[in-house]
Amino acid sequence: MKNILKNKYFIYALILVVGIIAGRLIFGAASGHAHDHDHEHITEDQVWTCSMHPQIRSDKPGKCPLCAMDLIPLKSSGGSDELVHPDAIQLSEEAIALANIQTTVVSESKPIKEIQLYGSIQADERRLQSQTSHVSGRIEALEVSFTGERIQKGQTIASIYSPELMNAQQELLEALKLSPQQAELIAAAKEKLRFWKLTNEQIDEIVQTRTANAIVAIKSNTSGVVVQKHIQAGDYIEKGSSLLDIADLSTVWAMFEAYEGDLAFIKKGDQVHFNLESIPGREFSGQISFIDQVLNPESRTAKLRVQVANSQGLLKPGMYASAKIQASLPANQNALSIPKSAVLWTGQRSIVYVKQEDTETPAFLLREVELGPSLKDAYVVLSGLLEGETIVTNGAFTIDATAQLEGKKSMMNQGEAKQHMHHRGHEHAEEHHESHAHEAAHNHHESHTATTKTAQIKKAKMAVGGACGMCTTRIEKTALAVKGVSLAKYNLENQSLQFEYDANQTNVDAISKALAAVGHDTDKHKADDAVYAALPGCCHYR
């Protein structure tokens, strides 16, 4: 043994073995610790997905079960204990700034729909007259020589030679030669001349001169502008022939065409403001006096008539006009409205992204809404949103693209596919319980919006007592638990609950009773004292 210990090679070998063992103990423990640490970090902070199948979720790297591709890291959850909806999209402040995401708070308003109309100026049809000849004869002279000439009532427009009129004058002269007792015969002869539109002055001249005129002047029976001339000098005309068409332009019509979809918002008596291309910088106005009951089958438009005074003669038939109508919507007074930029269209679905409240990292959740009339740059919201909620007005498509990449509900994914996700440990069981509660409420809303067309959706507000954030959660969850309630939002500062419900399934009274049953007074029902006393101390609001 002593010889072995004295052998230097044995000593060298022993030192080498001891060194190897010590190294493994030291570095192996450190490596194991580092490995465990890395694994723990991956498990708690990292989410992995497949670039080809984004619905795949895993808390550790590996292979995609569908295509066997390596999973890639998706995003870090940050290990936060915030109750974030599982379908929500979380973005950092830096990502929000880079994507230029902007939000706005939904509020009530009195919606005004601006309708653009186009048309032209036309003559008032009620003031159009046709100057006709009441006798047959030949036009000897024409005093009105061109279209557009303005004439006055009683003005001579033509001279005519008429044998019939000559005979009628002779009858009057013969009656005058008889004794004065034949007054009735004289009166009948004069009436015959009046019937042929001779004026009293012309008849008196015949009586005084006792002479029949072969050529008689035809007088205008109205004032206005000649819009069409049917005769020339020397023409032979029959009784009843049209000589001139005369329009009185002291009042004109502004005729506009309204599209079929806008007719529901236009009514007789609405004020119209319009401009003319030929008179820039000046605005005219008038009220709608008539709406055509028949649509043009080709343009799908109906004519609107606006009567406008034209004493100065500025408005001329044929001028082009453009108008605007500020139409109020009585059926949607005090309705919610949102900017058009907030809405994403997916066929029959209208989608907005709503910001989840009370989260440190901004989170956005998809919400289907039912839209009403289109305004100038906004839409009226019939259902799907409540006053005070915050929606994305710019950058919604970027958020939706992130949702598609993460396999969550989006424009293209309505959530039918099952998501493969390894859940966290038992220490987050309460968080999952709360998340599923939120998801159940959201799914209830989704199923509701799918049947909005047949449901009778109503919005309401009631006073509800509350004192803390726990009260807010309890009130909203209780309201959502009532069948038929699709949305509920409690305002702790104003002590009021806004909610949206289907009147075919529930009513305000039933919702109020449900809230009182869990210890919260409403403006309709008071909670039982024993139930109220059982609430946590921070929830006592009386």
Class of domain 114-124+249-328: mainly beta
Count of CB atoms situated within 10 Å of the CB of 75 = 17
pLDDT score at 306: 94
pLDDT score at 3: 56
pLDDT score at 15: 66
**Cα(469)–Cα(540) distance, rounded to whole angstroms?**
12
pLDDT score at 433: 36
Say which residues have a Cβ less than 8 Å from residue 200's Cβ, sequence separation at least 6: 194
In which residue are the tokens 């709406």 written? 291
pLDDT score at 95: 80
3-state secondary structure of 226: strand
**Cα(194)–Cα(189) distance, rounded to whole angstroms?**
9
pLDDT score at 428: 35
Backbone angles phi, psi at 439, to 5 degrees: -65, -40
pTM surpassing 0.85? no
Per-residue pLDDT in tens (0 to 9) along the chain, 542 residues: 555 555 565 566 666 665 666 566 554 544 444 444 444 443 445 667 765 666 677 778 888 887 787 876 654 444 444 556 778 888 888 888 888 899 999 888 777 788 889 999 999 988 888 888 888 888 888 888 788 888 888 888 888 888 888 888 888 888 887 766 677 888 888 888 888 778 888 888 888 888 887 788 888 888 888 988 888 888 888 888 888 889 888 899 999 999 998 888 888 988 899 999 889 989 999 999 999 999 999 999 999 999 999 988 899 999 999 998 887 776 666 678 888 899 998 878 889 999 988 777 888 989 888 888 888 788 888 888 888 889 999 988 888 888 888 888 888 877 643 333 333 333 333 333 344 334 434 444 444 444 445 678 888 889 999 998 889 889 989 999 999 998 888 888 889 998 989 889 999 999 999 999 999 999 999 999 999 999 988 899 98
* Range 134-240: architecture per CATH: Beta Barrel (2.40)
Kind and range of the H or E element at 396? helix 396-405
The type of residue at 207 is: V
In the DSSP assignment, the letter for residue 296 is: B
How many residues in the chain? Answer: 542
Cα dist. 19→16, 26, 30, 33 in Å?
Answer: 5, 10, 16, 21
In which residue are the tokens 């450190």 written? 30
Contact in structure between 323 and 254 (CB atoms under 8 Å): yes
Cα dist. 123→224, 275, 280, 473, 492 in Å?
Answer: 11, 17, 21, 67, 63
Say which residues have a Cβ less than 8 Å from residue 193's Cβ, sequence separation at least 6: 165, 168, 169, 172, 202, 203, 206
Q: Which residues of 246-269 are buried (b: 16+ CB within 10 A; e: fewer)?
A: bbbbeebbbbbbbeeebbebbeee
Contact in structure between 480 and 501 (CB atoms under 8 Å): no
pLDDT score at 81: 46
The type of residue at 521 is: D
pLDDT score at 307: 93
> 455-542 — its CATH code?
3.30.70.100
Boundaries of every domain in the chain: 2-76, 114-124+249-328, 134-240, 455-542
**Cα(181)–Cα(172) distance, rounded to whole angstroms?**
15
**Cα(211)–Cα(399) distance, rounded to whole angstroms?**
99
